Structure 1
Amino acid sequence: MKINGIKENTIFIDGVWREAAGGKTEAVLNPATLEHIMSFSYGDEKDARLAVQAAKDALPLWSAKTARERSGYLYRAYQLMMERQEDLAVILTTEQGKPLAESRGEIASAASYLLWYAEEANRIYGEMIPSSNKGKRLFTIPQPIGVVAAITPWNFPSSMIARKLGPALAAGCTVVLKPAEQTPLSAVGLVKIFEEAGLPKGVLNLVTGDPASIGKAWLEEQDVRLITFTGSTEVGKHLMRSSADNVKKLSLELGGHAPILVFEDADIDQAVSLSLMSKFRNAGQTCICANRIYVQESIYNHFVKKLVEKVKQLKMGNGLETGIEIGPLIDNHALEKVQSHVQDAINKGASITAGGNRPSLSKNLKGFYYTPTVLTGITDEMLVMKEETFGPVVPIQSFTSEEEAIEKANLTSYGLASYVFTENINRAWRVMEQLEYGIIGINDVFPAAAEAPFGGIKQSGQGKEGGREGMMEYVEMKYISMGLKEAEY
């Protein structure tokens, strides 16, 4: 079976599309309809090691290319992505479930990282260091770290890949890529873009398949110098422990539990509208989306009423249909987690003011759907206030003072993103400086941009993606101390 030119041989090693070494395949399901889309190659440790060897062999020639030459490949891939935007968006929606409008936006966002790093490839600078010794000259030069293993998630299967490939390839690294097993086809589509752009064989290798065996191989391979991973904190901790034997560098974007703080001086209509977009984008399956909303007591009832009205108007269904705003969850495991979080909240005294159930099954709602849900009467011990729900559920709690809001927002081991709504610039500064998060939006819930560093603190990860900082994850600075002889006249 084919989908927009994609065949079952979804493993790409040393410039060749192939089946898994073990011959195994698995099905890709459409989470909106539960229909079988197609089968894909389900690779394992053997495929993973072959990919590393191909990347290792390609490294000398790729890293020796000028920055301008590498930039040309990235720019061509950017152009092709935008030319194929609609095809790539349809693939994304079909296997992941998000509305087609969101998928189009994700493809454009993914392409923007390729464009940014096509430009940034030419701006990786070393440094001259003033020496304390007149007979020495000191300087640093940047060099690619080597073979990079990129492991990406299913919730943004295109943009998370591009956010890693862009800087890695720009820096002169070669890459072995493993996408989430729920969404392999988006990865295949992007790799085909690079293939069409003429990227030399072995520079980019794709292994679809078993995460445990592939990950194990890349952790053991000494030639893999960096693992860049986006996913759960639990898996991130496993990678940290398992990478110790080979002292691998890690770049980790892990889980989040983003709070939104709405102060009484905020523009309430703006706060409601942006909170809605943050929480329910991708059916709440977003690492930086609102996980809990804190609203100042004096405006709490007004805010809740406005938000609930908007939530009840959201249209749910198959993302390929016109006007759909909420698609399905990715699979049954995700659905069960959402249901358990809502039930836990109810058991502990929460009230459902919107949603709170699975929609009635129909021809258009056969998949893993859960109605957009608002919970009130929230207390801190509920799971929705401590764990990442990763679904269309938002708990709302009131607060009285600025100090209380900050304390509640920081009451978590996560530190990825947080948001503040206020029209008071002094309050914005005070609160921003005290929030323990790597990303903070002030009257803004869409902070991600190719030109800006993206990453968390605490148990939300380490390292940055995007911006100048994102490039430095893939570079090692080599220090040179050069002795000089005195001139003879």
Structure 2
Amino acid sequence: MVSTRETELLARVPDGLYINGTWQQGGGDAIEVTDPATGAVLKRIANADAADGIRALDAAVEAAESWAATAPRVRAEILRRAFDLLQERRDDFALLMTMEMGKPLAEANGEVTYGGEFLRWFSEEAVRISGRFGLNPEGTGTMVVSQHPVGPCLLITPWNFPLAMATRKIAPALAAGCTVVVKPAELTPLTTLFFVQLLEDAGVPAGVVNVITTSTSSAVAGPIIADPRLRKLSFTGSTAVGRKLIQQASEGVLRTSMELGGNAPFVVFEDADLDKAVEGAMLAKFRNIGQACTAANRFIVQESIAAEFASRLTERVGAMKIGRGTETGVTIGPLVSEAAVAGTDALVQDALAHGATLLAGGKRPAGPGSFYEPTVLTGVAPASAILTEEIFGPVVGIVTFADEAEAVRLANSTEYGLISYVFTQDLARGQRMIASLETGMMGLNTGLVSNAAAPFGGVKQSGMGREGGLEGIQEYLSTKYTLIPVS
């Protein structure tokens, strides 16, 4: 049941494409955005076709020169105003995310905080873009190294963090002096549309940020990527789609940033503080209903404590409340779609067929909405698909190990390398695991690592490039070397 407040909020969310500072209709049939908790249609919005995508790129190209020439302090102050406006409107953004994506309202509020930090961080970084200057070794000239905006960018964002993934890409691009075309996910586009309205209120000039919503992503993105005026592609999503985009981007030798799939190991040694390990597991697994590339996917627990760890974790999981994210006390909302439920259940049933033991959950509850019970499995066999495929659901699969060498082998036995989690009270072992695990990020005795001030990204088939931190703005800058001869 949609409340009066929800109805009023939806009425304030734009339903068009945002191109060159104006709201426009798309060339395709309207997109229906639904509430995954009920299946009800929340809003119908514009659907871009390929021509709309090129018009958005036209606007970004036209605005590129003037935005690049805009003083860094001016760009910084616009981003800071956007941060301040987001704090004022945080309740609206949190509610909107819960409605279109399903996450509990408390988590949606956390995403507003997290997403806002990218605006604040990169508002500060905009005025710190630097270079270097010095005499060359031969003494024949002065070397000047400067950094410049890469140019118009295409930013493709996922559905699972509709605000934070937008701010994590848009903020550094604008701070660096780049203009952008943003293509949000079809399942959760409303937050991005509401956010670009905020950017307009913050003073972002026409053409600097353009947003196209579409149900035909490849048909719309393909011509943009192929256009020689585009200079940068940033994508967050599956590795399979990322590979295709990298191939397309190679034709124009585009700068690319790819944040792709994950298969995060969560390693618990026998000397770990089990209270901290269980708390970390709850954060690393069930945040965002398990629908995060950083979600713990494989729980690798030392044999001597595996039963106790599983027992404590199952007790916590059993106390979780399932429901629409706006309801009081709900800790597990719906998965984003029926397809997500089917995929999650298929992995669980495969693990059971290979001999796993079910300690909690394992099915979808009765009633409407795309819900799936939080689930705990032990004794997961090596042949189980749940150990090799990204789950993207509230499912814990536990395997055991005998010693540190086996733990490292199990953790690294994946094509992915985004993040790992390790729990141990042995400092030397912790240092060895930092060196041994093949991931771009690690949580040592914690289940939550994301921070706007830190570089986010992976190795192997989890992607390339970094978002956030000092490194984040570099993804949108090109380096130029100039030699000035000594007269």
TM-score when normalising by structure 2: 0.97
Task: For residue 55 of structure 1, give the secondary structure of its aligned residue in structure 2.
Answer: helix
Alignment correspondent of 2:47: 42
Query: Closer, same or farther in 2 for the Cα pair 1:35/1:4, shift >3 Å?
Result: closer
Task: For residue 476 of structure 1, give the secondary structure of its aligned residue in structure 2.
Answer: strand
Alignment correspondent of 1:328: 334
Aligned letter for 1:55? Answer: A
Deviation, structure 1 residue 9: 3.2
Counterpart CA distance in 2 for 1:5 and 1:116 is 31
Counterpart CA distance in 2 for 1:32 and 1:76 is 34
Q: Indicate if the aligned counterparts of 1:8 and 1:39 stay in contact, CA closer than 8 A.
A: no
Task: For residue 258 of structure 2, give the secondary structure of its aligned residue in structure 1.
Answer: strand
Query: Closer, same or farther in 2 for the Cα pair 1:23/1:377, shift >3 Å?
Result: closer
Task: Describe how 1:221-236 pairs up with structure 2 within 5 A.
Answer: 221-236=227-242
Task: For residue 345 of structure 2, give the secondary structure of its aligned residue in structure 1.
Answer: helix
Structure 2 gaps of 5+ residues are 1-6
Per-residue displacement from partner, 1:272-318 (whole Å, max 9, x unpaired)? Answer: 11101211111110110110111111111111110001101100100
Counterpart CA distance in 2 for 1:163 and 1:9 is 23
Task: For residue 292 of structure 1, give the secondary structure of its aligned residue in structure 2.
Answer: strand
Task: For residue 261 of structure 1, give the secondary structure of its aligned residue in structure 2.
Answer: strand
Match of 1:463 among 459, 462, 465: 465
Task: Describe how 1:263-274 pairs up with structure 2 within 5 A.
Answer: 263-274=269-280
Counterpart CA distance in 1 for 2:305 and 2:15 is 56
Alignment correspondent of 1:420: 422
Query: Is 1:307 matched up with 2:313?
Result: yes
Query: Is 1:278 matched up with 2:278?
Result: no
Aligned letter for 2:359? Answer: T
Counterpart CA distance in 2 for 1:43 and 1:227 is 19
Counterpart CA distance in 2 for 1:438 and 1:445 is 15
Structure 1 gaps of 5+ residues are none
Counterpart CA distance in 1 for 2:423 and 2:299 is 11
Match of 2:302 among 274, 296, 308: 296
Alignment correspondent of 2:3: none
Query: Is 1:339 matched up with 2:345?
Result: yes
Deviation, structure 1 residue 3: 3.7
Task: For residue 293 of structure 1, give the secondary structure of its aligned residue in structure 2.
Answer: strand
Per-residue displacement from partner, 1:248-277 (whole Å, max 9, x unpaired)? Answer: 111000000001110111100110111012
TM-score when normalising by structure 1: 0.97
Counterpart CA distance in 2 for 1:385 and 1:434 is 20
Match of 1:123 among 124, 128, 150: 128
Task: For residue 231 of structure 2, give the secondary structure of its aligned residue in structure 1.
Answer: strand
Alignment correspondent of 2:4: none
Aligned letter for 1:180? Answer: A
Query: Is 1:135 matched up with 2:140?
Result: yes
Task: For residue 228 of structure 1, give the secondary structure of its aligned residue in structure 2.
Answer: strand
Task: Describe how 1:363-442 pairs up with structure 2 within 5 A.
Answer: 366-442=368-444
Q: How many aligned positions are there?
A: 480
Q: Indicate if the aligned counterparts of 2:10 and 2:43 stay in contact, CA closer than 8 A.
A: no
Per-residue displacement from partner, 1:121-170 (whole Å, max 9, x unpaired)? Answer: 11111112441222200121000000010000000010000000110000
Alignment correspondent of 1:93: 98
Deviation, structure 1 residue 213: 1.4
Match of 1:446 among 445, 448, 472: 448
Q: Indicate if the aligned counterparts of 1:80 and 1:193 stay in contact, CA closer than 8 A.
A: yes
Q: Indicate if the aligned counterparts of 1:8 and 1:38 stay in contact, CA closer than 8 A.
A: no
Query: Is 1:148 matched up with 2:150?
Result: no
Aligned letter for 1:156? Answer: F
Deviation, structure 1 residue 214: 1.7
Query: Is 1:52 matched up with 2:57?
Result: yes
Aligned letter for 1:100? Answer: L
Deviation, structure 1 residue 380: 1.6
Counterpart CA distance in 2 for 1:3 and 1:239 is 35
Match of 1:349 among 336, 355, 358: 355
Q: Indicate if the aligned counterparts of 1:316 and 1:327 stay in contact, CA closer than 8 A.
A: yes
Counterpart CA distance in 1 for 2:51 and 2:111 is 32
Q: Indicate if the aligned counterparts of 1:329 and 1:335 stay in contact, CA closer than 8 A.
A: yes
Query: Is 1:67 matched up with 2:72?
Result: yes
Residue identity (%): 43
Counterpart CA distance in 1 for 2:268 and 2:64 is 50
Q: Indicate if the aligned counterparts of 1:29 and 1:95 stay in contact, CA closer than 8 A.
A: yes
Match of 1:319 among 325, 328, 346: 325
Match of 1:205 among 180, 189, 210: 210
Counterpart CA distance in 1 for 2:301 and 2:370 is 31
Counterpart CA distance in 1 for 2:86 and 2:11 is 15
Counterpart CA distance in 1 for 2:432 and 2:28 is 58
Aligned letter for 1:257? Answer: N
Q: Indicate if the aligned counterparts of 2:163 and 2:192 stay in contact, CA closer than 8 A.
A: yes
Alignment correspondent of 1:11: 17
RMSD of aligned residue pairs (Cα, Å): 1.1
Alignment correspondent of 1:473: 475
Q: Indicate if the aligned counterparts of 1:138 and 1:482 stay in contact, CA closer than 8 A.
A: yes
Aligned letter for 1:181? Answer: E
Task: For residue 154 of structure 2, give the secondary structure of its aligned residue in structure 1.
Answer: strand
Deviation, structure 1 residue 407: 0.4
Task: For residue 299 of structure 1, give the secondary structure of its aligned residue in structure 2.
Answer: helix
Query: Is 1:189 matched up with 2:194?
Result: yes
Q: Indicate if the aligned counterparts of 1:261 and 1:294 stay in contact, CA closer than 8 A.
A: yes
